[in-house]
Structure formats: structure tokens, C-alpha cells
Structure 1
Amino acid sequence: MSNRIDITDLDIYYGKFHAVEKVTVNIEPKSVTAFIGPSGCGKSTLLRSINRMHEMTPGATVTGSLELDGQNLYASGIDPVEVRKQIGMVFQRANPFPTMTIRENVLAGVRLSNKRLSRSDADDLVERSLRGANLWNEVKDRLDLSGSGLSGGQQQRLCIARAIAVEPQVLLMDEPCSALDPISTLAIEDLISQLRENYTIVIVTHNMQQAARVSDRTAFFNLAGVGQPGRLIEVDETSTIFSSPKVQATEDYISGRFG
């Protein structure tokens, strides 16, 4: 499995509202791709469509093709729950389950899939996932305490541990640092750099500096006006997008002239 995502002519609708129009983009395996652009341009909608999370909104429909390693994730007979096991999601605000301990939070996704684990296997998975999220040393002596007692940055890393515990191929991150202080943001960015060795990562961010720091490739989205669908304007190596973009609108956005 290479963990490559290929999106071709993807249109996304919420009822009659056309949210995203004709997006074609290839997301390279084991790399970090950043989605940037002004609010309302469809970045998060597209991100959520990759693991069919957007379908939780009534009336959401998709046309076009979205493939993971050659398999169309929207083909008939494909179970969205199985898609979400392969493609994990980390949200804007850390959302550990407040009634669960740190240990239970890590295992939540595995338990939901009815996967039976022995106590020792569960312990190993908890440690491996927390180490993978650079959180083990901070919480190893309080695994039976509530996850909501952690700091904001620790909670976000706990959510990343929960996401990687189910052994996905892809990690989607929707502005994972927007609610965090600079030190916690740096910790998450360092973690993303490590996770790219094992996962294909797609991150939505409004922080231009963050996109420049963490991503290998950057995709810029825009829309013609309020109520218009979001479109992919340009995608390229991140260094190219930030130094010599080919489209004027990209240049205007990253230089702060609009958005």
C-alpha cells in the first residue's frame, strides 16, 4: 500500500449548494500536503470528503472520483465506516471523550470497531500510540485519569494518538493548531514532521508560516465570490508556491493582499 490519494473532477454539494467545483489533485504518499485559502473556499469540505466525514451533513453529495491506492472510496458497496478506519481525522478543537480515561480515549476507535484485544495487547497499543503522538512520557503515570484534565496541546496529541491507534493509512488534520498556544503548536508541528514517515498527511491551515514549515506540497483554494463554489487554483511544491507561484491570485493571498 502506497497510501496515495487521487482526486479527479470532484464536485461536492450540500443539497443544491455547490460547495466545491471540479477539484483534481494528487496527494503523494507519506508526505504532508497543506490546503490553504480564504474562509469559505471549500478546504475543510474537501478534507472531510476524503474520509466521507462530510456525509454526516444531511444532503451532502459528491460526483467525480476520489481514490486511495486506486480504489474509488465512493464506489457502490464501499462502507464509509471502513473508509474512516483507513483515513483518520484530527479536528480543529481537541475532542477527547470527557468521561473516558487517557487509556480509554486511545482505545476508543479500536473498541468501536469491535476489535478484541487482550489486556497486554491493549497496553502495548496504548503505549505505542502515545509514543507515536509524543505524549507517552507526559502521561504514562496517569493513564487512568480523565483525558479532559490535560492541557490543550496535550489533548490534541491525545486525539492524534487515538487516530493512529486504529492504524490508518492517511491522517487528515483540520486546523489542528488553531486553538493552541505557540509552544503547543510547535509540538504538533514537530509531531507532523515525524508522522509523515508512516502516514500520508493532509492539513488545512490558515497559518501561512505553518504551511511553509510543515508541508511538502501546498494547494491553494479560492472562490469567485460569496455563494460561489470553492476551486483549486494552484498546487505545487510548497517552496515553489511560496517563492514563485504561477497564478496571481496565489501570490496575492500568500502576500496578504487579500483573505
Structure 2
Amino acid sequence: MAKRLDISDLNIYYSDFLAVEGVTMAIEPRSVTAFIGPSGCGKSTVIRSLNRMHEVIPGARIEGRIALDGEDLYGREVDPVRVRRQIGMVFQRPNPFPTMSIHANVIAGMRLNNKRMSKAAADEVVERSLRGANLWNEVKDRLNRPGSSLSGGQQQRLCIARAIAVQPDVLLMDEPCSALDPISTLAIEDLIGELKQEYTIVIVTHNMQQAARVSDQTAFFNLAGVGQPGKLIEMDATEKIFSNPSKKATEDYISGRFG
């Protein structure tokens, strides 16, 4: 697990509209990379392109290259379903399957992949994944209750457990704490710090303090104006981005002058 992502000259289109232009970056294994920037600058578009989730929108396409440990994820023979299995995703709002139990939610991805398991094997995956998401002790006595019966923060950790159950190489998180209270947010941030020991993690966040707390590298995106493509302005070690950025636009955004 935990592989390197290399992005080269990435342009992302929705039909004829160029949404993101000229992104080149390297995302290191066993680290947390934060994407920051104002709304509409392409952060979520880029993160969704990493596991081809943006392709669910008709007309979406890319130019350039995204490689996972050297393998072109957009190669002609590459199955997008396999890419999404290798690169899991946790969304902005917790989205457990409401009619499924906690147990069934965790192994839902494996079932969708037509993976047959004995009850003992399924139970082992559920426990491993819930422990990995720091949720096991809270739910081990009610695994047959609906996932929707949990609190918002617990539901988000359940979604993380579901994502890591299939043992991906990379974990993407698109504003995973924006719908959560401060205590649940802290729990997710602590969990991110633990998960990076095994996974390559990319997180989109509007919370500057969160980016500073959880990430090793930070990438700042911006756009010149309405209707213009989003661009990567600067990427560096998080400590440098927040203390001594190279670009004035980065400094202006972090200091709250815009965005």
C-alpha cells in the first residue's frame, strides 16, 4: 500500500470548458497533501480526476498524465473501476448506505467488486477496517444497526472504514470535515495522522488551520477570474507555505486578504 502519484501537464475539461490548466505535481507516499484555495479554483476537480471520479459527469476529459507508481491511470487498457479501487475517496458529507447495517456498509465495496467472502472473513475485514477508522470500540456491540443511526462524525469515520476495507493505495478526502462539529473534526484529523502511516492521503480543505495541522505538503490553487481555468500556483512543504510562501498570491490567501 501507499504509492506515489505523479501529475504532469494536467488539463481538465468539461466539454469545451477548460476547468483546470497545466497542473504538475508529485504526491509522496505515506504523507498528507492538502489542496487549498478559494472556491471554484479547481481543487475538487483535480482530486476527483485522481481516481477518475470526475468522469461520471458527461463530457469530462483530461489531457496530460496521472501516474500511480509509474502506471498511467488513463491508459487505454486501464479499467476506471480498478482505479477507484486503488484510490479510495471520502466525500464532503458522510454518505453511509442508509438501509445497510454498519457491518454491511464496511464491506459494501468488497461486495460491489464481486468478492465472495465467508462470514468469518467478512467479520475480520469489518473489525480491521473499523479499528483502522478508530470506530470499532464505539460500534462493536451494534454492528447490525443501520449506518445512518450513528452521529455525523461516526458516519464519516464509517465511510473511511468502508474506503480502507478494500485496502487502497491512496485515500482522497474532499472536505471531509466541513459538515462536522469541532469534536468530530478533531477525531477525523487525528485519524488522518494515523492513516498516513499506511496510505498516501490527499485532502481538499477550506480550513487553513486544518491544512496546517494535518498535512506534510500543501498545494495552493487559484484562478485569474470568473470563467478562467484553475491553476496550481505553488506547492511546497506545509511549514514553508504557511510561514514563507514563494508567491504573493499564496501569502495573500493564507493571510485572509481574499478567498
TM-score scaled to structure 2, two decimals?
Answer: 0.99
Q: Are the counterparts in 2 of residues 172 and 201 from structure 1 also a CA contact under 8 Å?
A: yes
Q: Distance in 2 between matches of 1:75 and 1:64?
A: 11
Q: Distance in 1 between matches of 2:82 and 2:3?
A: 15
The CA deviation at 1:257 is 0.2
Question: Which ranges in structure 2 are unaligned for 5 or more consecutive residues?
Answer: none
Q: Distance in 2 between matches of 1:78 and 1:10?
A: 18
Alignment of 1:59-138 (within 5 A): 59-138=59-138
Identity of aligned residues (%): 75
**2:164 alignment partner AA:** I
Do residues 159 (structure 1) and 159 (structure 2) align? yes
The CA deviation at 1:174 is 0.1
Cα root mean square deviation, aligned? 0.6
**2:157 alignment partner AA:** R
Q: 2:213 maps to what in 1?
A: 213
**For residues 210-246 of structure 1, what are the alpha-carbon distances to aligned partners after superposition, in whole Å with 9 as ceiling and x for unaligned?**
0000000000000000010000000000000000000
Q: Are the counterparts in 1 of residues 2 and 198 from structure 2 also a CA contact under 8 Å?
A: no
Q: 1:148 maps to what in 2?
A: 148
Q: 2:242 maps to what in 1?
A: 242
The CA deviation at 1:42 is 0.2
Moved more, 2-11 or 85-94: 2-11
Q: Are the counterparts in 1 of residues 5 and 28 from structure 2 also a CA contact under 8 Å?
A: yes
Q: Are the counterparts in 2 of residues 86 and 169 from structure 1 also a CA contact under 8 Å?
A: yes
Q: Are the counterparts in 1 of residues 28 and 200 from structure 2 also a CA contact under 8 Å?
A: yes
The CA deviation at 1:2 is 5.3
**For residues 175-209 of structure 1, what are the alpha-carbon distances to aligned partners after superposition, in whole Å with 9 as ceiling and x for unaligned?**
00000000000000000000000000000000000
Q: Distance in 2 between matches of 1:75 and 1:229?
A: 25
The CA deviation at 1:40 is 0.2
**For residues 86-117 of structure 1, what are the alpha-carbon distances to aligned partners after superposition, in whole Å with 9 as ceiling and x for unaligned?**
00000000000001000000000000000111
**1:136 alignment partner AA:** W
Assess, with a 3 A threshold, how the Cα gap between structure 1 residues 188 and 2 changes in structure 2: closer, same or farther. closer
Residue aligned with 1:134, SS: coil
Q: Are the counterparts in 2 of residues 2 and 69 from structure 1 also a CA contact under 8 Å?
A: no
Q: Distance in 2 between matches of 1:2 and 1:241?
A: 24
**1:125 alignment partner AA:** V
Q: Distance in 2 between matches of 1:18 and 1:153?
A: 35
Q: Are the counterparts in 1 of residues 216 and 238 from structure 2 also a CA contact under 8 Å?
A: yes
Q: 2:42 maps to what in 1?
A: 42
Structure 1 runs (4+) greater than 4 angstroms displaced: none
Q: 1:251 maps to what in 2?
A: 251
TM-score scaled to structure 1, two decimals?
Answer: 0.99
Q: 2:176 maps to what in 1?
A: 176
Question: Which ranges in structure 1 are unaligned for 5 or more consecutive residues?
Answer: none
Residue aligned with 1:78, SS: coil
Residue aligned with 1:257, SS: coil
Do residues 18 (structure 1) and 18 (structure 2) align? yes
Q: Are the counterparts in 1 of residues 102 and 144 from structure 2 also a CA contact under 8 Å?
A: yes
Residue aligned with 2:167, SS: coil
Do residues 229 (structure 1) and 229 (structure 2) align? yes
Residue aligned with 2:107, SS: helix
